[in-house]
């Protein structure tokens, strides 16, 4: 098991990412035949390869491309895009030594220094000169340098410092490369709702690797079996390549980002060839094995540098405290001044900046808008005005904290007026409507679902009361029997197609159970108490039976325990998952201790990082809508599956041959949580309970030996044992369990609660396949650690509350 996993910081909290993390194995399946793979030698000689490639390029230069024209790019930096044919015309056969082509200047920048001492201006000046031959565009080598340093450390402080210093150099030397660099470092090319997918087939990377680095299928497979990660395979292949066909044209940050955009927008006939050419060109132009590694990791969308969303937001906030583009007229803090501050004061300066950036991103999660704003005005409150809540841009949803049972809820909310709402088992939806009546619908993970729910879109004119011009409201979409109003199971909803749903052919009817209103007639309502938001929602919008209505609710205080219990029973009897309990007002009625907050934020929980605030800060329990936060002003109580009310969404990753009656099937099955920081899957438990025979059968049929769903041991799985077979990770299963235990065998969340031991589940039981969740949305190791801590705190509390032991007995035993 890698050290990085062991030494990882404790107490990080999950950051959900809607990005697709495809499995590496899938990139080596079903490879199309290429000229190279026909050769029997492990690798072609560079000379032969060069001639073959040159021949191909000559041909493709004379034959016009069959691909659709790539539409004109809209962003200013896109002006630098080279038409693909132009790039190819430059191909001339000349073998070059690949040694000495690396960008040694970029490779020497000490980005991992403390930002308090790092001399960004000196490096910016040196690099500007160095990039003048590339029209001043920052080199991809510099980004690679930052990736390598970030990847080399397990310290979150170092990762943040590296990104901060890297961003500072870019801000000072080539501000126009900051935005593409941020997209590349966050392993995406657009916000989730913009739906820009690379759409690279599994075979195209391997085909390009073979072609550009002169490997045949066997050679590629050998490297893959040894390294497991497509990027590492590219690294090795590039390292072995002693000659290249032509001097690589240095990759720039903008150029690489534009190539990815070109891949994403290339659609229709011939687009596969266009994409393939771009991928090959990128690999061809890498200077050095590290560039190859990160280009390929970017293409397979599994960067593994730990620059998750929150890390990037923190890095941006800090970088713009220190640096600004030349000519910008806002103030930055001189480095010497920051260096003189006491640690707490520096933390406060950092925190203030970070809060602004995080708040902006939670309301308006699009770097395309945030970065230009930052370059223009730096980190100021005005960012929240310029880059705040906006119609047709989804805000990141507020989340609920888990609770063990109702009594915990009543204790937590003593002295408060709260409301209990049914927790419907459907799909969360954010509905935006502007004055012109244009409607957008977004999912919990910010994907655009407008095409999935044309029936909801068509309801808007009727539900929008007369005084409503524009709004953003939120609710749960549930499949509902239109005749009886009966709620249907979540699985029914999953039968609906995701795109291009034709309103005339809808078979699964839905009802939107609205529960919040965040924006009304041009005014954000986030800071208004929930009671007021709910009042506006229910008074200004119009119900339509079985199609648009309010969540079932009941207002209470802690004194109403009996009625709350009744309400909870009513919810679970009506096919709901349980209840959500929400604080109604901001004011405390009595002077009770304030409840604590947990956030969906890595560094708020990072106890080992002195630069960031500690987790579990005592904070007033507000009834405001807090985007992207998991607060205790929203509590969820789920029906008890077993002793634990919480369930986990785990990824099946392997299986053992069953015994006796189950000999024909895989049983037990090994399951994992995902670690969004390292990109690894960490084994958490074996399960053999809750499956029906029919399920076992289907499972065996899916994961048949010899099928592409059975793979060799993946390098990205962390597990001390060895199942009989490894599954290609592709599903998410909801699992119940009794409790979470420390384990010497399982690696889940290792380093988060114990340096030596991981976490595992007692009495795991399969509940259902989460058809609606992709592997990237499975439970994270941080979340598992959070649940473990909650369970630990609970047991400590129960320990102290237990009556004192009988003293007489104590005496007798002595
Ligand atoms: P789960 O795994 O239970 O679906 P989650 O991680 O998706 O939870 P939580 O914050 O834990 O999100 O639970 C809130 C979810 O419950 C919301 O995302 C929403 O989809 C759903 N929900 C159903 N009814 C309500 C309600 N009345 N108020 C808020 N959320 C509700």
Using a 6 Å cutoff on CB, does residue 687 contact ligand 1?
no
According to DSSP, the residues that pair with 427 across neighbouring strands are 477
What secondary structure, in 3-state letters, does 289-338 show? Answer: HHHHHHHHHHHCCCCCCCCCHHHHHHHHHHHHHHCCCCCCCCCCCCHHHH
Q: Say whether 654 sits in a helix, a strand or coil.
A: strand
Query: Residue 421, exposed/middle/buried by CB under 10 A (0-12, 13-18, 19+)?
Result: buried
pLDDT at 745: 84
Using a 6 Å cutoff on CB, does residue 571 contact ligand 1?
no
pLDDT at 201: 59
Q: Say whether 582 sits in a helix, a strand or coil.
A: strand
> Which atom of ligand 1 is least distant from the CA of 427?
20
CA distance 107 to 253: 15
* Closest residue by CA, ligand 1 atom 20: 428
> Which atom of ligand 1 is least distant from the CA of 647?
2
How far does the centroid of ligand 1 lie from the alpha carbon of residue 399, in Å?
7
What secondary structure, in 3-state letters, does 664-699 show? Answer: CCEEEEEEEEECCCCCCEEEEEEECCCCCHHHHHHH
* Closest residue by CA, ligand 1 atom 24: 423
How far does the centroid of ligand 1 lie from the alpha carbon of residue 453, in Å?
19
At 9, the pLDDT band (50, 70, 90 cuts) reads very low
Counting residues of the chain whose pLDDT is more than 90, the rounded percentage is: 50
> Which atom of ligand 1 is least distant from the CA of 649?
2
CA distance 156 to 150: 9
CA distance 97 to 246: 9
Using a 6 Å cutoff on CB, does residue 423 contact ligand 1?
yes
How far does the centroid of ligand 1 lie from the alpha carbon of residue 765, in Å?
22
How far does the centroid of ligand 1 lie from the alpha carbon of residue 428, in Å?
7
As a whole number of angstroms, the longest Cα–Cα distance in the chain is 99
Mutation pick for ligand 1 pocket among 580, 582, 735, 776 (CB with most ligand atoms within 8 Å)? 580
pLDDT at 10: 32
Using a 6 Å cutoff on CB, does residue 10 contact ligand 1?
no
Pairing of strands 243-244, 96-97: antiparallel
pLDDT at 361: 97
The mean predicted confidence, pLDDT, of the chain is 81
How far does the centroid of ligand 1 lie from the alpha carbon of residue 430, in Å?
13
Place of tokens 């049983």: 667
Place of tokens 């806002």: 330
Dihedral pair phi/psi, residue 772, rounded to 5°: -85, -5
* Closest residue by CA, ligand 1 atom 4: 425
Does pLDDT of 794 surpass 50? yes
How far does the centroid of ligand 1 lie from the alpha carbon of residue 424, in Å?
8
| Least confident span in 98-102, 357-361, 710-714, 750-754 | 98-102
How far does the centroid of ligand 1 lie from the alpha carbon of residue 476, in Å?
8
The one-character DSSP state at 466 is: T
Instruction: Work out the angle at residue 379's Cα, subtended by the Cα atoms of residues 335 and 78, and round it to the nearest 5 degrees.
Output: 105
Q: Which of 9, 238, 262, 423 is catalytic?
A: 423
**746 Cβ contact partners less than 8 Å away, ≥ 6 residues apart:** 682, 683, 684, 685, 719, 720, 758, 759, 760
* Closest residue by CA, ligand 1 atom 30: 423
How far does the centroid of ligand 1 lie from the alpha carbon of residue 351, in Å?
29
pLDDT at 644: 53
pLDDT at 699: 96
Q: With b meaning 16 or more CB within 10 Å and e meaning fewer, what string describes 210-222?
A: bbbbbbbbebbbe
**459 Cβ contact partners less than 8 Å away, ≥ 6 residues apart:** 512, 544, 547, 548
Q: What is the mean pLDDT of residues 48-76?
A: 40
How far does the centroid of ligand 1 lie from the alpha carbon of residue 423, in Å?
7
The one-character DSSP state at 190 is: S
Does pLDDT of 807 surpass 70? no
| Least confident span in 480-489, 585-594, 659-668 | 585-594
Most confident of 41-50, 461-470, 687-696: 461-470
pLDDT at 810: 31
pLDDT at 305: 67
Using a 6 Å cutoff on CB, does residue 551 contact ligand 1?
yes
Cα dihedral 317, 322, 328, 329 sign: positive
Using a 6 Å cutoff on CB, does residue 428 contact ligand 1?
yes
CA distance 223 to 206: 11
Using a 6 Å cutoff on CB, does residue 510 contact ligand 1?
no
| Pairwise pLDDT comparison (161 vs 301), residue with the higher score | 161
Most confident of 279-288, 457-466, 790-799: 457-466
pLDDT at 17: 33
pLDDT at 529: 96
Place of tokens 């070059």: 96
Compute and round to an integer the Cα radius of gyration of the chain. Answer: 28
Q: What is the mean pLDDT of residues 250-277?
A: 93
**Cα 170 versus chain centre, distance:** 25
How far does the centroid of ligand 1 lie from the alpha carbon of residue 636, in Å?
8
> Which atom of ligand 1 is least distant from the CA of 551?
27
| Pairwise pLDDT comparison (171 vs 592), residue with the higher score | 171
Ordered domains of the chain (ranges, CATH):
1-87 (no CATH), 95-388 (1.10.3260.10), 399-638 (3.30.470.30), 647-798 (2.40.50.140)
> Which atom of ligand 1 is least distant from the CA of 398?
10
Residue 619 annotated in active site: no
Using a 6 Å cutoff on CB, does residue 444 contact ligand 1?
yes
Q: What is the mean pLDDT of residues 179-196?
A: 91
> CA 225, 226, 228, 234: dihedral to nearest 10 degrees?
-110
pLDDT at 100: 52
| Least confident span in 16-25, 266-275, 731-740 | 16-25
Using a 6 Å cutoff on CB, does residue 421 contact ligand 1?
yes
Tokens read off for 549:
């209505």
How far does the centroid of ligand 1 lie from the alpha carbon of residue 25, in Å?
33
> Which atom of ligand 1 is least distant from the CA of 630?
10
pLDDT at 247: 67
Mutation pick for ligand 1 pocket among 420, 429, 476, 579 (CB with most ligand atoms within 8 Å)? 476
pLDDT at 197: 83
pLDDT at 314: 96
> Which atom of ligand 1 is least distant from the CA of 423?
24
| Pairwise pLDDT comparison (50 vs 507), residue with the higher score | 507
Does pLDDT of 594 surpass 50? no
Does pLDDT of 161 surpass 70? yes
* Closest residue by CA, ligand 1 atom 5: 399
| pLDDT tens figures, 410-444 | 888 988 999 999 999 999 999 999 999 999 999 99
Mutation pick for ligand 1 pocket among 636, 638, 640, 771 (CB with most ligand atoms within 8 Å)? 636
Does pLDDT of 226 surpass 70? yes
pLDDT at 20: 35
Using a 6 Å cutoff on CB, does residue 425 contact ligand 1?
no
**Cα 716 versus chain centre, distance:** 17
Q: What is the mean pLDDT of residues 383-401?
A: 96
Does pLDDT of 3 surpass 90? no
Does pLDDT of 214 surpass 80? yes
How far does the centroid of ligand 1 lie from the alpha carbon of residue 294, in Å?
36
How far does the centroid of ligand 1 lie from the alpha carbon of residue 577, in Å?
9
Q: What is the mean pLDDT of residues 139-160?
A: 91
| Least confident span in 175-184, 469-478, 773-782 | 773-782
CA distance 647 to 735: 5
pLDDT at 708: 80
pLDDT at 765: 87
At 246, the pLDDT band (50, 70, 90 cuts) reads low
Counting residues of the chain whose pLDDT is more than 70, the rounded percentage is: 79
| pLDDT tens figures, 74-96 | 333 333 323 333 333 344 444 55
* Closest residue by CA, ligand 1 atom 12: 399
Contacts 24+ apart (CB under 8 A), 435-444: 435/469, 435/470, 437/461, 438/392, 440/391, 440/392, 440/394, 442/193, 442/394, 444/397
**441 Cβ contact partners less than 8 Å away, ≥ 6 residues apart:** 429, 430, 431, 432, 448, 449, 450, 452, 453, 456, 457
In DSSP notation, 5-60 reads: HHHPPS--------S----GGGGGSSPPP-TTTT--SSB--HHHHHHHHHHHHHHH
CA distance 198 to 261: 8
At 376, the pLDDT band (50, 70, 90 cuts) reads very high
Q: What is the mean pLDDT of residues 738-764?
A: 88
Using a 6 Å cutoff on CB, does residue 636 contact ligand 1?
yes
* Closest residue by CA, ligand 1 atom 19: 428
| pLDDT tens figures, 702-745 | 999 888 888 888 878 889 889 999 999 999 999 988 889 998 88
Does pLDDT of 589 surpass 80? no
Mutation pick for ligand 1 pocket among 419, 424, 446 (CB with most ligand atoms within 8 Å)? 424
Does pLDDT of 549 surpass 90? yes
| pLDDT tens figures, 669-692 | 999 999 887 778 999 999 988 899
pLDDT at 670: 97
pLDDT at 470: 97
> Which atom of ligand 1 is least distant from the CA of 553?
27
Check: CB of residue 114 under 8 Å from CB of residue 161.
Answer: yes
> Which atom of ligand 1 is least distant from the CA of 421?
27
Mutation pick for ligand 1 pocket among 423, 550, 626, 628 (CB with most ligand atoms within 8 Å)? 423
Element (H, E) at 718: strand 717-718
The one-character DSSP state at 505 is: G
């Amino acid at each position: 098991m890698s050290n990085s996993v062991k030494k990882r910081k404790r107490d990080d909290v999950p950051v959900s990412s809607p990005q697709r993390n495809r499995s590496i194995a899938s990139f080596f399946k079903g490879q199309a035949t290429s000229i190279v793979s026909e050769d029997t030698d492990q690798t072609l000689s560079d000379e032969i390869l060069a001639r073959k490639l040159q021949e191909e390029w000559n041909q493709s230069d004379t034959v016009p491309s069959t691909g659709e024209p790539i539409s004109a790019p809209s962003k200013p930096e896109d002006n630098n895009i080279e038409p693909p044919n132009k790039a190819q015309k430059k191909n001339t056969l000349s073998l070059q030594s690949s040694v000495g082509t690396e960008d040694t200047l970029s490779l020497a920048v000490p980005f991992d220094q403390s930002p308090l001492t790092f001399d960004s201006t000196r490096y910016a000046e040196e690099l500007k000169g160095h990039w003048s031959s590339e029209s001043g565009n920052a080199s991809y080598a510099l980004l690679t340098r930052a990736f390598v340093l970030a990847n080399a450390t397990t310290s979150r402080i170092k990762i943040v410092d590296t990104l901060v210093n890297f961003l500072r150099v870019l801000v000072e030397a080539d501000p126009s490369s900051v935005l593409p660099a941020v997209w590349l470092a966050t392993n995406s090319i657009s916000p989730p709702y913009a739906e820009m997918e690379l759409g690279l087939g599994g075979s195209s990377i391997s085909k390009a690797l073979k072609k550009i680095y002169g490997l045949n299928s066997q050679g590629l497979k050998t490297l893959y079996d040894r390294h497991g990660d497509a990027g590492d395979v590219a690294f090795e292949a590039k390292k072995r390549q002693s000659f290249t066909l032509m001097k690589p044209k240095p990759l720039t940050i903008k150029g690489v980002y534009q190539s990815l955009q070109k891949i994403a927008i290339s659609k229709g006939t011939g687009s596969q060839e266009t994409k393939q050419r771009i991928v090959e060109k990128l690999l061809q132009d890498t200077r050095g094995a590290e560039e190859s590694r990160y280009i390929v990791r970017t293409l397979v969308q599994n960067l593994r540098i730990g620059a998750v969303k929150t890390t990037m937001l923190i890095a941006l906030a800090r970088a713009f405290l220190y640096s600004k583009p030349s000519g910008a007229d806002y103030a930055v803090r001189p480095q010497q001044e920051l260096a003189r501050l006491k640690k707490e004061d520096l933390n406060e300066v950092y925190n203030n900046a970070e809060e602004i950036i995080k708040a902006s991103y939670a309301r308006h999660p699009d770097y395309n808008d945030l970065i230009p704003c930052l370059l223009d005005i730096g980190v100021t409150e005005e960012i929240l005005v310029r880059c705040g809540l906006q119609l047709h841009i989804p805000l990141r949803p507020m989340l609920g904290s888990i609770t063990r049972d109702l009594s915990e809820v009543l204790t937590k909310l003593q002295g408060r007026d709260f409301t209990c709402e049914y927790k419907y088992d459907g799909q969360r939806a954010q509905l935006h409507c502007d004055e012109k009546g244009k409607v957008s619908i977004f999912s919990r993970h910010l994907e655009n679902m407008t095409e999935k729910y044309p029936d909801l879109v068509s309801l808007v004119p009727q539900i929008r009361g007369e005084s409503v011009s524009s709004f953003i409201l939120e609710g749960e979409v549930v499949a509902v029997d239109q005749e009886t109003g009966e709620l249907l199971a979540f699985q029914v909803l999953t039968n609906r197609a995701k795109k291009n749903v034709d309103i005339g052919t809808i078979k699964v009817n839905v009802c939107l159970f609205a529960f919040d209103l965040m924006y009304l007639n041009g005014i954000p309502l986030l800071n208004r108490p929930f009671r007021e938001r709910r009042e506006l929602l229910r008074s200004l919008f119009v119900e339509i039976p079985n199609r648009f209505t309010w969540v079932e609710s009941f207002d209470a205080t802690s004194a109403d325990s009996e009625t709350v219990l009744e309400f909870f029973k009513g919810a679970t009897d009506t096919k709901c998952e349980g209840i959500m309990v929400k604080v109604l007002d901001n004011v405390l009625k009595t002077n009770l201790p304030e409840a604590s907050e947990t956030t969906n934020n890595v560094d708020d929980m990072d106890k080992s990082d002195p630069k960031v605030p500690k987790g579990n800060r005592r904070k007033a329990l507000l009834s405001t809508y807090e985007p992207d936060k998991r607060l205790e002003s929203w509590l969820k109580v789920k029906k008890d599956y077993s002793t634990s009310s919480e369930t986990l969404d785990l990824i099946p990753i392997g299986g053992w041959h069953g015994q006796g009656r189950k000999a024909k099937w895989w049983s037990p099955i090994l399951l994992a949580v995902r670690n969004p920081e390292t990109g690894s899957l960490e084994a958490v438990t074996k399960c053999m309970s809750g499956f029906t025979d029919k399920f076992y059968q289907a499972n065996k049929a899916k994961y048949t030996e010899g099928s592409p769903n059975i793979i060799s041991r993946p390098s990205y799985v962390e597990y001390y044992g060895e199942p009989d077979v490894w599954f290609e990770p592709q599903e998410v299963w909801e699992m119940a369990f009794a409790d979470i235990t420390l384990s010497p065998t399982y690696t889940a969340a290792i380093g988060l609660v114990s340096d030596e031991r991981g976490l595992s589940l007692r009495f795991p039981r399969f509940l259902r396949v989460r058809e609606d969740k992709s592997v990237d949305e499975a439970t994270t190791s941080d979340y598992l650690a959070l649940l473990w801590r909650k369970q630990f705190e609970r047991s400590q509390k129960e320990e102290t509350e237990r009556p004192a032991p009988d003293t007489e007995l104590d005496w007798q035993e002595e």
